[in-house]
Amino acid sequence: MLDNLTNRLSRVVKTLRGEARLTEANTQEILREVRMALLEADVALPVVRDFVAKVKEKALGEEVVGSLTPGQALVGVVHSELTALMGGDLGPYAAELSLAQQPPAIVLMAGLQGAGKTTTTGKLARWLREGLHTHEGRKTGKKKVLVVSADVYRPAAIEQLRTVAAQAGVDFLPSNTEQSPEEIARNALEHARRYHYDVLLVDTAGRLGVDEAMMREISALHALLKPIETLFVVDAMQGQDAVNVAKAFNDALPLTGVVLTKLDGDSRGGAALSVRHVTGRPVKFVGVSEKLTGLEPFHPERMAQRILGMGDIVSLVEQAQQAIDQQDAQKLAAKLKSGSKFDLNDFRDQLAQVSKLGDMGSLMEKLPAQFAQAAGQLKGGQAEQQMRRMRGILDSMTPAERAKPELLKASRKRRIATGSGVPVQEVNRLLSQFDQMQGMMKQMKKGGMAKMMRAMGG
């Protein structure tokens, strides 16, 4: 799915991860790569422009520039902007079908001929009948589903729906070309009410292109049925055209969501990225095969992750953001800026922050390879144990000693070692580690984060 886009963007991500320093020049270069990748994937030009402008603004902002790992922070920005672009800003449940209507909940299917409307109606019917997972593991609960076709122009379309309904194991209400679409809709509504269906899916007639008569017809059906969901089904392989047709439908009809079909094909994927931006409607499902099982709920965030080929970096960034007290971090930055020395109290705070990140082993796995190496070949458990001992040593010092490490002469060191239950050598080792760290902090003040990362071998 969206292989080319993924390949290109994951290359960008890889470069970024290795980038210890973001300059004006390499940031421009990276943004150019992102832009090219999106254009090549057939994302609409205004969408690309807007997207790149947003990422650029953030790339030059404090969040990225002031970060310990600017490259990674920029990856985080690209990821969150991609997620937002695809509707992630609407909240995790925006892509769920809303069925909270007095039953029957009515779902109207719209789209051009060949888009995959009938197939998708069958897929959704099965989905609802089985009460499959939607988002975050939430289940819809099994539904009693009725499907009907209002396509009075193509008898074959009605037969096709009969077939997929049987495959999906849901009830099919026969209709025929002698009836008007409104008549079919009225009958179906009555039938669904009388027999207590939870959901009524109404398949409609498509045309080869957007045309007035079709829009009038589906608008009339919409007025009559008052559906809680009006889903626009569109073939992702149509690229920019798909988005234009979606816009035309959305202007005529209050769509609630979009289903992108044929994402399994050699679709370049642009539609997945443009639909929300152009129509304001979220993609709710994607079709990934001709089979009735080939329907997936659309998760903007996971899609963004997939497109960026970024493994678990996102969870890592999130984990770090949640654990690290932003206020503490800012206090330390302000302190260093003001010319104060990095002392053992700060060192202790930092260790406390790092241990809040949680299990070191799982953390290391999420780190990009070069950082994991720099962090040493320590097994997670060992690292944690060592961290605990270091904190013990620091806790055995008085605040005055931590503020002025030069006070720590032999007798005090012995007291601290005894207090924390470690040999004196270990206290010395910690102090020399601290010296190194202080050296790095000085460099950082002179040459910025990037220099420090290099000093660490990042």
Binding residues for GTP: 111-118, 203-207, 261-264
Does position 281 interact with ligand GDP (CB under 6 A)? The reply is no
Does position 118 interact with ligand GDP (CB under 6 A)? The reply is yes
Does position 350 interact with ligand GDP (CB under 6 A)? The reply is no
Burial code (b: 16+ CB inside 10 Å, e: under 16) for 54-84 equals: bbbebbeeeebbebebbbbbbbbbbbbbbbb
The Cβ-side half-sphere exposure at 338, using a 13 Å CA radius, reads 8
* Rounded Cα–Cα distance for residues 97 and 114 (Å): 23
Closest separation in Å from C-beta 148 to ligand GDP: 14
Does position 126 interact with ligand GDP (CB under 6 A)? The reply is no
Taking each helix axis as running N to C, give the angle between helix 212-225 and helix 181-194, from 0 to 180 degrees, rounded to the nearest 10: 20
Choose which of 70, 88, 111, 368 interacts with ligand GDP (CB under 6 A): 111
Interface characters, 237-266, with ligand GDP (x: CB under 6 A): ------------------------xx-xx-
Complex with ligand GDP: residue 156 or 424, whichever CB lies closer: 156
Choose which of 17, 58, 117, 268 interacts with ligand GDP (CB under 6 A): 117
Name the burial class of residue 249, with classes exposed (0-12), middle (13-18) and buried (19+) by CB atoms within 10 angstroms of its CB. buried
Closest separation in Å from C-beta 289 to ligand GDP: 5
Does position 181 interact with ligand GDP (CB under 6 A)? The reply is no
273 and 1 Cβ atoms separated by less than 8 Å: no
Beta bridge partners of 203: 149
Looking at beta carbons, which residue is closest to ligand GDP? 287
SS3 percent helix, strand, coil of the chain, rounded to 5, is: 60, 10, 30
Choose which of 76, 87, 104, 116 interacts with ligand GDP (CB under 6 A): 116
Give 141's DSSP letter.
Answer: -
Complex with ligand GDP: residue 149 or 396, whichever CB lies closer: 149
Does position 288 interact with ligand GDP (CB under 6 A)? The reply is yes
Read off the amino acid at residue 145: V
Closest separation in Å from C-beta 119 to ligand GDP: 3
For residue 110, what are the contacts with CB-CB under 8 A and spacing of at least 6?
Answer: 117, 204, 218, 230, 231, 232, 233, 249, 253, 255
Closest separation in Å from C-beta 392 to ligand GDP: 59
Compute how many residues bind ligand GDP; rule: CB under 6 A: 18
User: CA distances (Å), 209 to each of 113, 205, 254, 400, in order?
Assistant: 8, 12, 19, 78
Complex with ligand GDP: residue 76 or 287, whichever CB lies closer: 287
Positions touching ligand GDP (CB under 6 A) are 111, 113-119, 206, 261-262, 264-265, 287-290, 294
